[in-house]
């Protein structure tokens, strides 16, 4: 299977060859021809499956085939976070290098000025968080009447963040004739309702990266007393010879404190969280990708959608409060065919969160104590393997292949979702950068 067989033309296939993309991923194989044919698409896909290219490539080709009649965007990709907006924009620019198209990202937390200039100069493909998009639309600075294609990327997360009303506002502003593409890691009721209301006879696709056999993550739990977690991290960092680790913590303060402590031990560490200005978040991420920062300590909101090539380890320094976030967190490793490790430091207090994660995964995570760090406060036994609260209709049957030590999980195991969450303050979004 080649990209040309999917209907993509030389400016794109050449760029893909230059990027070293030899074959389309399963979701690209299914989605690209359907999108090019103008169909609505409903795709169950997580990051790491190649989903961004699955919609960006056909969008670019369709936009290039029809000349713009004015400055207004003709395609909009809505994403939940600023980081994902930047990342999708980077993909648009990378894949569209051979085409005369303009892409731009709008998100909050930054001044309007450059965004207004960009919109007036003309944008073909606009990537945006819903908040800033609505803001500029409401002020009459953004025209949505020319939009022919709209993508809801990580739709589940957008709904979790409370963007349902904003999405409804956007859809009202769109012309009736439009193509809608909805990508979501999970299909909670709210996502299904959104799909039912907005998509017309969609092609349903499930991206099961089963064929990419190496998309496996070895994951295990290290029971440890809460106050010894920093010490344990330092020990494992040295003992295992880790070089680049993404660490998840629960709070912004916790992120700053851990990064500070690691720096004190001579490890180049940076924290990213919602209180850090956008520019320094971007700088920290760029430094981490470039390898000048070895440990990136992140909270969940800041880390959503990060795409870091070949990231070998993810450490859950604290377990997430929402079990679903565990799946998103560990999805930062083992991407695009590489293997990865996800290690969770779990203290006695976190047993309920561990139980919720195991129920979601429908498997018990193996516990491997680190000699010298055996907890004084035992982590209570978790039952694990409890049934999820709702049956996941799109879930694949069968658990991951158990191996020792740790468990390996193929990402074709789709978790069920619980109820949505409230919208955290400041999650709205947007500035752009070309």
Buried b (16+ CB within 10 A) or exposed e, 106-121: bbbbbebeebeebbee
To the nearest whole angstrom, how small is the minimum distance from the Cβ of residue 275 to ligand AMP?
A: 26
Q: Which of 83, 270, 307, 324 binds ligand AMP (CB under 6 A)?
A: 307
Contact 96, 45 (CB under 8 A): no
Nearer to ligand AMP, 110 or 303 (CB): 303
Residue length of the chain: 434
User: How far apart, in Å, are the Cα atoms of 145 and each of 58, 118, 288?
Assistant: 21, 18, 39
Nearer to ligand AMP, 6 or 190 (CB): 6
Q: Which of 13, 15, 52, 407 binds ligand AMP (CB under 6 A)?
A: 52
Beta bridge partners of 106: 128
Piece in contact with ligand AMP (CB under 6 A), picked from 48-56, 217-225, 285-293, 426-434: 48-56
Asked whether position 13 contacts ligand AMP by CB under 6 A, the answer is no
Asked whether position 30 contacts ligand AMP by CB under 6 A, the answer is no
Asked whether position 108 contacts ligand AMP by CB under 6 A, the answer is no
The values of phi and psi at residue 221, to 5°, are -110, 135
Asked whether position 335 contacts ligand AMP by CB under 6 A, the answer is yes
Asked whether position 313 contacts ligand AMP by CB under 6 A, the answer is no
> Measured between alpha carbons, how far is 83 from 89 in angstroms, rounded to an integer?
10
Nearer to ligand AMP, 21 or 326 (CB): 21
To the nearest whole angstrom, how small is the minimum distance from the Cβ of residue 47 to ligand AMP?
A: 4
Q: Which of 6, 12, 15, 21 binds ligand AMP (CB under 6 A)?
A: 21
> Measured between alpha carbons, how far is 251 from 270 in angstroms, rounded to an integer?
14
Nearer to ligand AMP, 338 or 348 (CB): 338
Ordered DSSP codes for 60-125: HHHHHHS--SSSS-SEEEE-SSHHHHHHHHHHHHHHTTTS---EEEE-SSS-SHHHHHHHHH--SE
Q: Which of 6, 8, 12, 24 binds ligand AMP (CB under 6 A)?
A: 24
Beta strands per DSSP E along 269-359: 269-272, 295-298, 313-316, 340-346
Chain contacts with ligand AMP (rule: CB under 6 A): 21, 24-25, 28, 47-53, 307, 309, 335-336
């Amino acid at each position: 299977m080649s990209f040309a067989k999917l209907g993509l033309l030389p400016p794109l296939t050449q760029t893909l060859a230059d990027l070293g993309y030899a074959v389309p991923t399963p979701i690209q194989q299914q989605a690209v021809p359907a999108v090019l044919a103008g169909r609505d698409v409903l795709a169950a896909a997580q990051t790491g499956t190649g989903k961004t290219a699955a919609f960006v490539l056909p969008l670019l080709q369709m936009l290039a085939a029809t000349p713009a009649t004015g400055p207004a965007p003709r395609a909009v990709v809505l994403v939940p976070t600023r980081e994902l907006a930047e990342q999708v924009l980077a993909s648009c620019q990378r894949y569209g290098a051979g085409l005369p198209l303009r892409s731009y990202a709008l998100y909050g937390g930054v001044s309007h000025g450059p965004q207004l200039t960009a919109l007036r100069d003309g944008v073909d493909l606009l990537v945006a968080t819903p908040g800033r998009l609505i803001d500029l639309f409401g002020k009459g600075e953004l025209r949505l009447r020319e939009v022919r294609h709209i993508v809801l990327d990580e739709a589940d997360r957008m709904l979790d963040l409370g963007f349902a009303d904003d999405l409804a506002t956007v859809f009202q502003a769109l012309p009736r004739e439009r193509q809608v593409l909805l990508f979501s890691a999970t299909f909670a009721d709210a996502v299904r309702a959104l799909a039912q209301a907005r998509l017309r006879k969609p092609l349903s696709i499930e991206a099961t990266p089963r064929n990419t056999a190496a998309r496996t993550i070895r994951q295990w739990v290290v029971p440890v007393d809460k106050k010894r977690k920093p010490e344990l991290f330092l020990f494992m960092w040295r003992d295992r010879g880790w070089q680049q680790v993404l660490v998840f913590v629960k709070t912004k303060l916790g992120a700053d404190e851990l990064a500070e402590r690691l720096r004190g031990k001579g490890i180049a560490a940076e924290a990213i969280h919602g209180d850090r200005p956008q520019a320094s978040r971007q700088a920290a991420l760029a430094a981490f990708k470039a390898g000048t920062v070895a440990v990136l300590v992140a909270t969940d909101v800041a880390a959503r959608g990060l795409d870091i090539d070949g990231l070998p380890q993810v450490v859950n320094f604290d377990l997430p409060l929402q079990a679903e976030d565990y799946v998103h967190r560990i999805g930062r490793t083992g991407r695009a065919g590489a293997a990865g490790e996800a290690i969770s430091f779990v203290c006695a207090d976190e047993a309920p969160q561990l139980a919720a994660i195991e129920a979601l995964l429908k498997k018990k995570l193996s516990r491997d104590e680190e000699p010298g760090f055996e907890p004084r406060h035992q982590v209570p036994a978790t039952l694990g393997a409890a049934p999820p609260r709702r049956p996941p209709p799109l879930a694949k049957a069968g658990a991951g292949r158990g191996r020792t030590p740790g468990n390996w999980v193929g990402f074709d195991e789709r978790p069920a979702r619980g109820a949505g969450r409230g919208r955290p303050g400041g999650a709205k979004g947007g500035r752009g950068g070309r």
